Amino acid sequence: MKYRFDMNASDIKKRLSDKTRPVFAIGIAAELVGVSVHTLRMYETEGLIIPQRTKSKRRLYSQADIERLQCIRVMIEDRGFNLAGIKGMMSMAPCWEIKGCSESDRAVCDAYKTSLEPCWLVKSKASACQDEVCSECVVYRDVTTCHNMKSYLQQHWKNT
């Protein structure tokens, strides 16, 4: 971690308000969400969350990750979803439309052809996604959250 002593108040405020900045270790993230560390690792294995990694491979979670994890907990505890159901719901995001993929990109993309898993978990990806970091992609970051997924799908289905 680099320490900066030359930051002004504006810089500090900007850093504190950045919801995507990874700052929480896995134990703190688990405590904030009310689950065990093992549960967070399971969510990661299932592809529901993509924590950032330090150079030493430690997981770090951002405020946006905490909100995503809280969303997952609500779906499980209050709405009766299981992990497969949540994953299936996330796989319904039409990433190829959101990202504007060409027909040739769609032809090689497993997310378009099978859509059994969220696009960030598929092996064969469109060229638009080849070099992209999935945790920074608009589909993962914005569309597949509790609030945005429902409204996006409602809007999408109205227009089709």
CATH topology assigned to domain 1-81: Multidrug-efflux Transporter Regulator; Chain: A; Domain 2 (1.10.1660)
State the virtual CA torsion across 17, 20, 93, 106 in degrees, nearest 10. Answer: 130
What pLDDT score does 12 carry?
63
Lowest mean pLDDT among 68-72, 94-98, 146-150: 146-150
* pLDDT interval class at 91 (50, 70, 90): confident
Q: E strands, 16-158, where?
A: 24-25, 52-53, 59-61
What is the per-residue pLDDT for 146? Answer: 72
Residue ranges, comma separated, of all CATH 1.10.1660.10 domains in the chain are 1-81
Residue 119 CA to residue 29 CA, distance in Å, equals: 25
Residue type, 151: S
pTM for this prediction: 0.81
